[in-house]
Amino acid sequence: MKILIISVVYPYPADAGGSAGTFKMIDFLRKSNQITLVCPQTAPENHRELKNIWHDVEIQMIGPESSPEPKFSFKEFIKKKVRKTQEKEDVFKQSMLFFRPSFIEYYFDNLIDLVKGLCKKTQYDLAVVEFIDMAPIAEFLPKNLCKVFVHHEIRHRRMDLEFNTLQNKPVGGEWKIFNTKLLEVALINRFDKVICLTEQDKIFLEQDGVSPEKLEVSPLSVQITDHNTNIPFNFANRLVYLGPEIHFPNLDAVDWFLTNCWIPLKNSFPDLQFEVVGKWKKETQAKYDKLPGVIFHGYIEDLEDVLEGAIMVVPLRIGSGMRMKILEGASWHMPIVSTNIGAEGLPMKNGENCFLADSPADFVEAVSKLINSKELQEQFIENSREIIRTDYSIEECGKRRLEIFEKLVAINAG
């Protein structure tokens, strides 16, 4: 098949959930299909490296991104001048999707003309659009072209979860979330098929008003390699969190854990360390300088050393779609403690292959219990490893996605 893929992320380096998921799926599809990828501009070295890997994929870059300038508020200007330092919630608001302009206000220069030109030059069998920011492009694709939308994250649900973390909730917040929901559902209903990453997201979207016959579930895959990391598992007094600060749910999760859970755990286990892997700003790291045993590693290419002997913690309070970090933890043979939001849509069962806890007290208790039980550590690792092998291998996930595509194209042709 000739497949046109339009994404809001450049898939390389594959160092975050969205880019990693896109990279692995295209890497599978390109083996038996002719792929054209439309995505934002990236650093020249990233583009060169990816072209060396994907010599058979046509990559067309768009950009730069155009978005509305934030409106000047004299009231907010005076507030910032009066305060020498911003309160934490004000800083966090700058990273929340809730406080950003509506996704329909973003546009990449030359996007429409480029896509129209590609479709005029090549007769594609299928167009695949990824991420809600790109959903409006459906209007500019040929009417007879099969259109699939891959919904990585339900935007209005993410905004609602962000809104619920705020102590000072802005007036009109619920209004904004509801209108985002209406727009989101209307946009994705314009596609022939809507791929959800989890069964739970499929349920949410059906409840929201997406036509049930359009919905399919096709998860992202996890790289499964034969390695001896954490075999056997020997706890080395280390807790690890995977995720960059640029994705706000990661910032919220790390802050919630350090604010509410870390000191009680450190008091009980004086040698314990909490290590964060991913790109974080120095000014953010500095906010936690006074906390003992907290380490920010930055981006690490080879995770083996940092994950050896570590328990993975996933204290997420915000999210939709798939949390790849849990599956990655399972693939590295790590015992896991997560919130229910962190494990949402994944086959994680409390007390069977992980601990699930939402309140600070329950989270501290779960981590403590796991630290103290070699038997539970081994049980969680073994039970979660089997799930990875059977449900989330690249081969299985790739075949499932390809089956959806082929079936849709066959129906359209008939």
359-405 pLDDT, tens digit per residue, is: 999 999 999 999 999 999 999 999 998 888 778 888 999 999 999 99
Q: Please say if the pLDDT value at position 323 is more than 90.
A: no
Q: Find how far residue 362's CA is from the centre of its chain.
A: 25
Q: Assess if residue 121 is contained within a domain.
A: yes
Q: Please say if the pLDDT value at position 81 is more than 50.
A: no
Same domain, 401 and 387: no
Confidence of residue 414 (pLDDT cuts 50, 70, 90): confident
Same domain, 354 and 398: no
The arithmetic mean of pLDDT across residues 141-158, rounded, is: 96
Least confident window among 15-24, 159-168, 176-185: 15-24
Confidence of residue 66 (pLDDT cuts 50, 70, 90): low
Q: Assess if residue 295 is contained within a domain.
A: yes
Q: What CATH number corresponds to the domain at position 159?
A: 3.40.50.2000
Please tell me the predicted confidence (pLDDT) of residue 3.
99
Instruction: Domain of residue 321: give its range.
Output: 238-391
Q: Assess if residue 229 is contained within a domain.
A: no
Tell me how far CA of residue 369 lies from CA of 233, 272, 340, 372, 377, in angstroms.
16, 14, 18, 5, 10
Same domain, 379 and 402: no
Same domain, 253 and 277: yes
- As a whole number of angstroms, the distance between CA 309 and CA 374 comes to 12
Please tell me the predicted confidence (pLDDT) of residue 379.
97
10-29 pLDDT, tens digit per residue, is: 999 877 667 888 899 999 99
Q: Assess if residue 130 is contained within a domain.
A: yes
- As a whole number of angstroms, the distance between CA 2 and CA 368 comes to 52
Same domain, 306 and 322: yes
**What number of other Cβ atoms are within 10 A of residue 117's Cβ?**
12
Q: How many CA atoms are closer than 13 Å to the CA of 72, on its beta-carbon side? A: 2
Q: Assess if residue 401 is contained within a domain.
A: yes
Q: Please say if the pLDDT value at position 292 is more than 80.
A: yes
Same domain, 27 and 175: yes
Q: Please say if the pLDDT value at position 120 is more than 90.
A: yes
Q: Assess if residue 106 is contained within a domain.
A: yes
The arithmetic mean of pLDDT across residues 161-184, rounded, is: 93
Same domain, 39 and 111: yes
**What number of other Cβ atoms are within 10 A of residue 338's Cβ?**
28
Same domain, 8 and 144: yes
Confidence of residue 332 (pLDDT cuts 50, 70, 90): very high
Please tell me the predicted confidence (pLDDT) of residue 13.
87
Higher pLDDT, 18 or 54: 54
Q: Assess if residue 228 is contained within a domain.
A: no
- As a whole number of angstroms, the distance between CA 199 and CA 257 comes to 28
Q: Which alpha helices (H) appear in 122-272, and where do they start and end?
A: 155-165, 173-188, 199-208, 248-260, 262-268
Same domain, 250 and 203: no
Please tell me the predicted confidence (pLDDT) of residue 319.
87
Same domain, 145 and 213: yes
Domain count, the chain: 2
Q: Assess if residue 14 is contained within a domain.
A: yes
Averaged pLDDT score across all residues of the chain: 90
The residue type at 51? K
Per the listing, tokens 């007390």 go with 351
pTM: 0.88
- As a whole number of angstroms, the distance between CA 14 and CA 109 comes to 24
Pairing of strands 58-62, 294-298: unpaired
The verdict on whether omega for the bond into residue 212 sits within 30 degrees of 0, i.e. cis, is no
Same domain, 283 and 308: yes
Same domain, 382 and 400: no
- As a whole number of angstroms, the distance between CA 259 and CA 67 comes to 34
Per the listing, tokens 């208790």 go with 365
207-257 pLDDT, tens digit per residue, is: 999 999 999 999 998 876 667 899 999 999 999 999 999 889 999 999 999
The arithmetic mean of pLDDT across residues 300-306, rounded, is: 86
The arithmetic mean of pLDDT across residues 155-161, rounded, is: 94
